Amino acid sequence: MGVVIQVRIPSRLDKPGSSPAKPQNQENLLPAPLVLPSIHELDLFRCFQPVLIHLQMLWELLLLGEPLVVMAPSPAASSEMVLALTSCLAPLKFCCDFRPYFTIHDSEFKEYTTRTQAPPSVVLGVTNPFFIKTLQHWPHILRLGDLKMTGDLPKQVKVKKLAKLKTLDAKPGLYTSYKTFLHKDKTLIKQLLKGIHKKQPSDAQSALLRRHLLELTQSFIIPLEHYMASLMPLQRAITPWKNPPQIRPFQQEDFLKTLEHAGPQLTCVLKGDWVGLYRRFFRSPNFDGWYRQRHREMMHKLEALHLEAIAEANIRAWVKDKSEVEVVDLVLKLQEKLVRARCHRLPVKEEILHRVGLYIATIVGSLPEDLQAVLGPQ
C-alpha cells in the first residue's frame, strides 16, 4: 500500500509567511491526493540513478543525521527521493526528522530558513525555486533535474560547491563541502552498468542496490552490536533476592579500541577512516536512537532473567525467617514485576509468570487476614 498525503501545490507567486490565497473554486486545489509509494514499493534504482556516483556520500550524510535538502521538479520526485534516502540505512532506524514535501506554508518554515542557528537534523524535499535562496545556508543540497530514462547511467559530475547554487538555472547535482570518511565503491557502479548493458529489469538493479546498502550498514552496525552485548551482566550474577545488576555504560573510547580486531573491515571491503566515521556518528540522533532502543531491550532481558531466577528459587524457605514487613515488601515487588512483564511484553515464558503468580498467592495466604485484604484477593 502506498502512503496517501493530501497536499496543496503552492503557487510560485505565494510569498513566504503569507496565507495561501483563497481559491475561487475547488480547481485551485490539487484535485486528488498525492499517493506516494511505500518504502518497500520504491524503485531504488530509478530514484538513485541520477545520483549513483554520490550514493556513498549520501549514505554517510544520512547515517550522521546531517541536514539535507532535496530540490526536485515535482512533489512526487521530491517525496520519492526523500523516502529512498531515509530507507537506505536499513536495518538501522533513521531517527531524524524528514519531510517528503515541504512548502513555504509549513509551520517550521521560519525555523528551517533562519540563519541565526544551524539547520536541524532533517531531510527536506522541496520544489519551490524560492528555497534556492532561503536554504542556501544549508550545508548539503541535492538538486534533481527532470529524469530522462536512457540506456545508460546519466553523466554524473563531481560534488559542487555550495557557492555555485545561486541561480534558478543551477545545474542538478550534490552541493556540499562534505568530505567522505570512506572511499567510493567503484565495484557497485560497474555492476549496475553491467546490468544496464544486459538490459536487466529495474527491480533487479534495485535489489542489487538494496543489498549493497544493507551490507554496508550491517558492516557498520555489527561492531556496535557486539560491543553493546559485552556490556550485559553475566547471567550467573542475577540472583532472585537482589535487584538485577546494572548494564555497564557505553564507553566510546573503549568501543573504538575494539575496532582493530573486530571492526567493519572484517565484513566490508571499503577502506577509509572508520574510526572518524564512528566518532561523528556518536553525535548523531541515529546513534542516540539506536542506543536507547538497544539499552531498553537489554533492560527488558535483564528483567526477564530476574523473573526466571525468582521462579526457580525456593521462596518458601526464604520467607520462613523473614518479618511481615519484609514479606509484604517482597509481595509488592513481585506483583509489580508481573505487571511490568505483561505491560512491556518482556521476553519471558508464560509458565514463568504463572509460577511467580502462584508464589505470590502462597505467600499472601500465609499472612494474617488483614494483610491479605490489603494485598488484594488471590
Q: What is the pLDDT of residue 360?
A: 86
In order of start, what are the domains of the chain with their CATH numbers?
Answer: 3-212 (3.40.50.11500)
Amino acid at 225: E
Would you say the pTM of this structure is higher than 0.95? Answer: no
- Tens digits of pLDDT across the chain (378 residues): 444 443 433 333 344 444 444 434 333 333 344 454 555 568 899 999 888 889 999 999 999 999 999 999 999 999 999 999 999 999 999 999 999 999 999 999 999 999 999 999 999 999 998 898 899 899 999 999 865 444 455 555 557 766 666 555 568 889 999 999 999 888 888 898 898 889 899 999 999 999 999 999 999 999 999 999 999 999 889 988 888 899 999 999 999 999 999 999 999 989 999 999 999 999 999 999 999 999 999 999 999 999 999 888 888 788 888 888 888 888 888 999 999 998 988 899 999 999 998 888 888 877 877 777 777 654
Judge whether 203 and 42 are in contact, CB under 8 Å: no
Helix (H, G, I), strand (E, B) or coil at 141: strand
Whole-angstrom CA distances from 151 to 42, 121, 154, 158, 193 are: 20, 36, 9, 21, 10
Residue 209 class from Cβ within 10 Å (0-12 exposed, 13-18 middle, 19+ buried)?
buried
Amino acid at 71: M
Q: What is the pLDDT of residue 27?
A: 37
- Distance (Å, rounded) from C-alpha 100 to C-alpha 360? 53
Cell of 322: 523473614
DSSP string, 313-351: S-HHHHHHT--HHHHHHHHHHHHHHHHHHHHTT-S--HH
Judge whether 65 and 95 are in contact, CB under 8 Å: yes
Q: What is the pLDDT of residue 301?
A: 93
Q: What is the pLDDT of residue 185?
A: 84
- Cell 541565526 found at: 116
Name 97's bridge partners. 122
Question: Going by C-beta distance under 8 Å and a sequence separation of 6 or more, which residues neighbour residue 242?
Answer: none
Q: What is the pLDDT of residue 189?
A: 86
Cell of 17: 509567511
Q: Which of 162, 138, 21, 144 is nearest to 76 (CA)?
A: 144
Judge whether 123 and 250 are in contact, CB under 8 Å: no
Q: Give residue 44's region: left, alpha or beta (phi > 0; psi -120 to 50).
A: alpha
